[in-house]
Amino acid sequence: MLIYFLMLIAGLVFLVLAGDFLVRGAVAAALKLGVSRILASVVIVGFGTSAPEMLVAIEATLDGSPGLAMGNIVGSNIANVLLVLGVPALIYPLSTVGVGLTRSVIITMLATLAWLILTPTTGLTTLVGICFIGFLVVYVVGSLLVPPGGNADELIADEVAAPPPGWLKTAFFIVLGIVGLPLGSHLAITGAIAISNEFNIQSELVGLTLLAVGTSLPELSASLAAAFRREEDVVLGNVAGSMMFNILGAGGIIALFGPLALPPVFGEFDHWFMALTMLFVLVYVLIRKPIGRLTGILLLVAYAVYLYGLYHFYVLGLGWSDPWI
């Protein structure tokens, strides 16, 4: 049994490290080939930080565990708000004002609404996948053709700001990323499915918890680093971008293998939490209220409540009307 947890942990470590290597290598290669820094920030970094979720989603779906993939997408987006914003807010208040942030959050909200409406009704079909991916492409192209107002330098990610390394180091990073991502996803999915079978629990629960937190580690580490550097204005933008790529990118990819039916319990519990977390982000951005330490504590408490709710619904098999204590 221990070997399954070790496989899951090793897989998540490979995913985090390989994703970082791939982003750095791809950015360096793009800059050397004359691609603009803003293009590299919007497309390569945005896609690369969600690469773990995408690879996990594809691997899980191909292995016959689409619930694991959908759980990872929903759980990652919930963790992105409650953990990835909550923990850095304890260090330094997070700004909700930034270049293009309002537009990014509104688009992410629309993507979330599309997921919440379509997945319980039509399920994840090939048409839904094409629409999700198409919408993501339109957003990326639109961001490049009609950039938001403000200082363009603020759109440039940290990975793009530094001078690129030499070609040998660049190629080495890319190879590590290309090899490490599928290896990590395979180890993580194999371990997650084995844990699910060993403890006789739904694969969705493993995706919503272990995989979700594990694949959100890149965003958490980046947000913590930004908070320590007092670059609090970029944290929320990174989170919003990651959530958008999770739904439209990872969700769109697995939908191409559809039709995939959504587990009923998602509509009973998880989707409500997902909607509330996204609504929280939207409200704070619209009223331009910083996410302070008290709010950070409340976000972490909310995540603890969510984890208990998972135990209530998935492990105990109870519903809203049943006793919670």
Residue range 66-97, pLDDT digits in tens: 888 888 899 989 998 998 899 888 888 887 77
> Helix, strand or coil for residue 291?
strand
Residue 102 pLDDT greater than 70, yes or no: yes
pLDDT confidence of 133, banded at 50, 70, 90?
very high
Q: What is the pLDDT of residue 228?
A: 75
Cβ(49)–Cβ(245) below 8 Å: yes
- Kind plus residue range of the DSSP H or E element containing 262: none
**Range from 9-13, 24-28, 39-43, 284-288 that averages highest in pLDDT:** 284-288
Q: What is the pLDDT of residue 165?
A: 66
Q: What is the pLDDT of residue 138?
A: 87
Residue 134 pLDDT greater than 90, yes or no: yes
Q: What is the pLDDT of residue 152?
A: 46
Neighbouring residues of 271: CB distance < 8 A, sequence distance ≥ 6: 74, 116, 119, 120
d(CA 314, CA 267): 13
Q: Which residues pair with 94 in a beta bridge?
A: 291
> Helix, strand or coil for residue 165?
coil
**Range from 168-182, 198-212, 294-308 that averages highest in pLDDT:** 294-308
Neighbouring residues of 36: CB distance < 8 A, sequence distance ≥ 6: none
Instruction: Give the start-to-end residue ranges of the domains of the chain.
Output: 2-315
Topology given in CATH for the domain delimited by 2-315:
A middle domain of Talin 1 (1.20.1420)
For 58, the token pair is 């594809």
Q: What is the pLDDT of residue 113?
A: 93
Neighbouring residues of 3: CB distance < 8 A, sequence distance ≥ 6: none
- Average the pLDDT over 113-131 and give the result: 91
> Helix, strand or coil for residue 248?
helix
Its pTM stands at 0.81
Residue 45 pLDDT greater than 80, yes or no: no
Residue 53 pLDDT greater than 60, yes or no: yes
pLDDT, the chain, mean: 79
- Average the pLDDT over 86-111 and give the result: 82
How many Å is the Cα radius of gyration of the chain?
A: 19
d(CA 110, CA 246): 13
pLDDT confidence of 3, banded at 50, 70, 90?
confident
**Range from 99-113, 148-162, 219-233, 281-295 that averages highest in pLDDT:** 281-295
Residue 156 pLDDT greater than 50, yes or no: no
- Average the pLDDT over 111-131 and give the result: 91
% of the chain residues with pLDDT over 90: 15
Residue 192 pLDDT greater than 60, yes or no: yes
d(CA 92, CA 284): 16
pLDDT confidence of 129, banded at 50, 70, 90?
very high
Neighbouring residues of 39: CB distance < 8 A, sequence distance ≥ 6: 30, 144
Q: What is the pLDDT of residue 171?
A: 78
Q: What is the pLDDT of residue 27?
A: 67
Residue 266 pLDDT greater than 60, yes or no: yes
Residue 284 pLDDT greater than 50, yes or no: yes
Residue 104 pLDDT greater than 90, yes or no: no
% of the chain residues with pLDDT over 70: 81
Cβ(84)–Cβ(217) below 8 Å: no
pLDDT confidence of 33, banded at 50, 70, 90?
low
Residue 127 pLDDT greater than 90, yes or no: yes
Q: What is the pLDDT of residue 4?
A: 78
Residue 231 pLDDT greater than 60, yes or no: yes
